[in-house]
Structure 1
Amino acid sequence: MTGRQRILKIVYPLWIAITKLMGRNTMMLTNSRHVPPAESIYSLQVPLSNGNTVPLESYKGKKLLLVNTASDCGYTNQYNELQKLYQQFNNQLEIIAFPANDFKEQEKGSDSDIAQFCKINFGVTFPLAKKSVVVKANDQNNIFKWLTSKAKNGWNEKAPSWNFSKYLIDEQGTLINYFDPSISPLSDEVIKAVSVEGRRQTADGRQ
């Protein structure tokens, strides 16, 4: 961990408090009508940093939190919070990190460098994808094309606003929440969203 990274880790709680006070990176979106996806996310696969590929279909029946990450960011300490969330809800939640260098070049390392950094400094045990582009662009990662296209996911067009934006998929493959970077993985909002089991029926029987 570099000197800058150590400082960022120490000041992280203050950074979160300041961004919330200023109203920066605090957006939350919810698929309140539970609009189903137009295309199944389970048809997609994720190339991992270790050279393997994981089909998202293998996560069917669990919630799935997809997060774009970076190693040299004010939010990098959220790796620690993501690991705690992963351990707390391991039986019902999977997490995949998507390292990207899209914001102020805050992820310059190779896939192996990133994996080592996450393991040594934060004890990360959830999967890391190969470094890719997560913002809207011609070479945007296919997972993030799905996450940020209403024509694919059914309702959301919101791209990551910065590193550590979070997208929550439910047990049936429906995108149900988006959380901006200043919303901690251990916040009440994220915990509540992860804890709710399956689809909830409304009083008149609609989903």
Structure 2
Amino acid sequence: MVKILLMLGTLLTGLFADKNEVAVRPENAAAAKQNLYDFKMKSLDGKVVDLSQYKGKKVIILNTASKCGYTPQYADWEKFYEANKAKVVVLGFPSNDFGGQEPGSEEEIGAFCQKNYGVTFPMFAKVVTKGEGQSPLYKWLSTPDLNGWNDKVPTWNFCKYIVNEKGELTHFFASKVKPDSPEFLESLK
């Protein structure tokens, strides 16, 4: 019973802590020490992916989870990716940071995403998005000294970071923002 109450509390915290928060790169942002193209990440199938292959496209980085109230967003982001993949790529980074909602192995995550949502956008190996053991990519995304302006770490699953065609971080969106949200669509202009 205590375990169930703790899980419910964690879930409610995620649903109510996410305030549709948006952060936008200011025009006077400091020069970034790194950009997206400096990173190589491991895919779900264990291959090293050089993120510089996405030069010239906008990139949406999502921290994902298979057992979250926001998990149905996989369908939204897949639909968006299919409609826009010539100019925009969606990258999914599973994380078990929020309520233990991504406990599966890379193989289980891949099977879940394909079976339930038909995900074809690139998915990566599980990462730590905040705190001790934070992945270098998420450290860059959330450290102003590295990215030039942003200090927002994910507040729950399915937070979004937008990177422009030059590899510069331009926006952060909290979990509730979907691909059809006006503020998200504006960020792609």
Flag whether TM exceeds 0.5 (same fold): yes
* SS of corresponding position for 1:84: helix
1:154 is aligned to 2:148: yes
Contact 2:17–2:155 (8 Å) recurs in 1: no
Question: Equivalent of 2:52, from 57, 64, 70?
Answer: 57
Deviations 1:93-122 (A, max 9, x none): 011101010011001111000000000111
CA drift of 1:37 comes to 1.8
CA drift of 1:34 comes to 6.2
**Worse-superposed segment, 26-35 or 123-132:** 26-35
Deviations 1:5-24 (A, max 9, x none): xxxxxxxxxx9xxx6xx784
Deviations 1:143-187 (A, max 9, x none): 101101111100011100000000000001111100000111221
Question: Equivalent of 1:126, from 121, 125, 136?
Answer: 121
Residues 101 and 168 of structure 1: is their aligned pair in 2 closer, same or farther, counting only changes over 3 Å? Answer: same
Q: Which runs of 5+ in 1 are unaligned?
A: 1-14, 197-207
Q: How many residues align?
A: 175
Partner of 1:80: 75
Deviations 1:12-52 (A, max 9, x none): xxx9xxx6xx7843100111316342223211111111111
Contact 2:63–2:157 (8 Å) recurs in 1: yes
Superposition misfits of 4+ residues, deviation over 4 angstroms: none
1:101 is aligned to 2:96: yes
Amino acid at match of 1:135: K
Contact 2:18–2:155 (8 Å) recurs in 1: no
* SS of corresponding position for 2:120: coil
User: Could you state the TM-score of these two structures normalised by the residue count of structure 1?
Assistant: 0.80
Q: Percent identity?
A: 36
Alignment partners' CA distance in 2, 1:33 and 1:60: 22
* SS of corresponding position for 1:58: helix
**Worse-superposed segment, 128-137 or 66-75:** 128-137
Q: Which runs of 5+ in 2 are unaligned?
A: 1-11
User: Could you state the TM-score of these two structures normalised by the residue count of structure 2?
Assistant: 0.88
Alignment partners' CA distance in 1, 2:42 and 2:17: 35
1:173 is aligned to 2:167: yes
1:142 is aligned to 2:136: yes
Residues 42 and 118 of structure 1: is their aligned pair in 2 closer, same or farther, counting only changes over 3 Å? Answer: same
Residues 43 and 23 of structure 1: is their aligned pair in 2 closer, same or farther, counting only changes over 3 Å? Answer: closer
Alignment partners' CA distance in 2, 1:98 and 1:153: 19
